[in-house]
Chain A
Amino acid sequence: MSAASFSRGWPKYGALAVLLAPSLAGMAIFVMGPILGSLALSFSSWDMFADIEWIGIENYTKAVADPAVRTALGNTLLFILGYLPPVVSIGLGLALMLNRTFPGRTLFRAIYFVPVVTSWVAVSLVWKWLLNPEFGLINYGLSLLGVDGPGWLYDPQWAMAGIVLTSIWKDVGFIMVIYLAGLQEIPNNLYEAAEIDGIHPLQVFWRITLPLLAPTTFFVTTISLINSFQVFDQVWIMTEGGPAGATSVIMELIYKNAFRYYQMGYASAISWLLFAIIFAVTIAQHLLQRRWGATE
């Protein structure tokens, strides 16, 4: 049987169906089911004790007017603003550095990638100590420079900065690896041509590397943006939304409503609002990218 005949008709789809069935069943039961369930619940009032009571769009109107939702959304946007530009640019910088040939390159790539595969719980606890105002290494380092370090997680003005710092450290290796892959895709003859024409390295970066990395940049920012809207683990472990609500983010609000306040319906409604926001932002980003791509 030739490869061509295998790739057509029943044999192809039959084999695919058999091979995919277990994971599709898992997806349907443990992912799609709960997602659709939460959509249904978002139109209900359910404290898990009594029977489910259908209340129409009341949860949504309540969420839109809820100051706690607005604060949490504001804090989430603050996190994104502080996190996204640095993590992408530092990730790109690291990728450019580690794309050159020098001894120990693979070791450095591994070192920067280690935080990515470390659990959020471990990272958060370690950073909580690093950021400790009395005993932390960071404030100790600052004191050597003659700077009186802030209270970090204990100070509402600085707590989000501490969380942003931790998140950048953890995720920068992921961005780096994607960019490294993107850099491999750029044909070498472009660089050779630039070298022959004697173009300044900075020009090479702006005119060749960055534009040709555009698809990678789009992918990286989309993924990071979606993830950062859902920032939760580090917040829950490091501050639980405090001090004085300064790091209360949208996922933390959802968690509290569902599992502390017995308001499953309301929590589901906020989840779907978050989905709508992420969906809208991703679409907007996609449209922008297409325009950008067209003018290149």
Chain B
Amino acid sequence: MKLKKILREYPLLLLFALVMGGLFLLDLCFTSNPYSELENRRLKQKPAFSLESLLENRYTKDYEGYINDQFVGRDRWITLKSVFESALGKTENNGVVYGADRYIYNKLLDPALGESRQNGAGFGGDGSDTPALPVVNSAQLGRNVNFLNTFAVTYPGHVTAAIAPNSYGIRPEGLPAGLPNVNQQAAIGELYRQFSGDNLSTLDLIAPLREAAGEMQVSYRTDHHWTTDGAWVGYRAYCESRSLPYVTLEELAPYRREEPGFLGTYYNKSKNFDALPDTLVWYDIPVEDVTIDGEHTVLQTDGSLVEVTGLYQREKFAVRDKYAAFLYGNNGLTVIKSGNSKAHREGEVSRVLVIKDSYGNCFAPFLTYSYDEVWVADLRNMTFKVSQVLAENQFDDVLILYNFDTFQEDRNFSRITY
């Protein structure tokens, strides 16, 4: 009787108590997650209390971070926010925009609109370094051009610089109307004019990718990388520029494998309910030997060692971050040896050094058909010096391969001069 009366007279009080009390109790009960696969970062854990950390205001800050990171149903709340954003008619969420044909694009505005105000904290992942204006970081871009030119002057051999366009750079017409995103064709053209060196040549990737986009999917709808086929288009353009023989997709057809259901990094940001998963393609190319930083094992984020048996960490194809399967993710120095090369000459070993961001990971396997040894270096996880690698080994070619979005903000590119 009494409950009925309360229900009738105080329904809001009851509802509110139920929702808040329920979430409060659930939040208290659930155990902590160590890692967020969606965010690619470790989640904050309950901080240990000490008087010192309290007085230094560290404890309260850490505690709030922990409450936020470990809130019950965190992932579902994020999805729910994305739904509300769509209901409000927004075509963007968490820094990515919804383009035509269900492509998700990076929002990176024209530098004429203002200055990038990213602070120097790096990709710390605590949300504090989100810039007010997602605009091309002209200052970092300028520094990176200088680093590249310095490298090209000091290294006597031939260098190819290739800046790959991102999905919105290949298909700017797919962007929402009016969005003042940077014009990558113009921006990359300008970069190429600034790159200098007698032995340096630049490689146009926009034209071949745009042309190929009519026949195949060259960028992912939900991820910031180019597709493996897109990478092949880049590979062909590179080989043509160096007058090297290259492997065709017809020849590779027997090795072609498809992994459907790939939702990439752009999806992780937007979490839009109507995202259309991509299919990730890889080619099971035979190789003789792959080492990472000289070893046949590679260290994982959780501290375990994984054996390196080929070009791909195959178990990653089954998890969310499928792209991490290529070359076992972004590692320092990967050396691939194979008998695939079409340019092989008896008694000689041809070598290429690729200095790359993650765009190089699905690209490098194709190079085994054009060089005997493919050396792949990632400046962001470097345990070596570029100058030392170049001094100790003879390379026929050096290829610097970055995508535009990474190149304009990467703070590790200076290491190319180390």
Q: Do chains A and B interact in one complex?
A: no
Interface residues of B (CB under 8 A from A): none
Using a CB–CB distance below 8 Å, which chain A residues touch chain B?
none
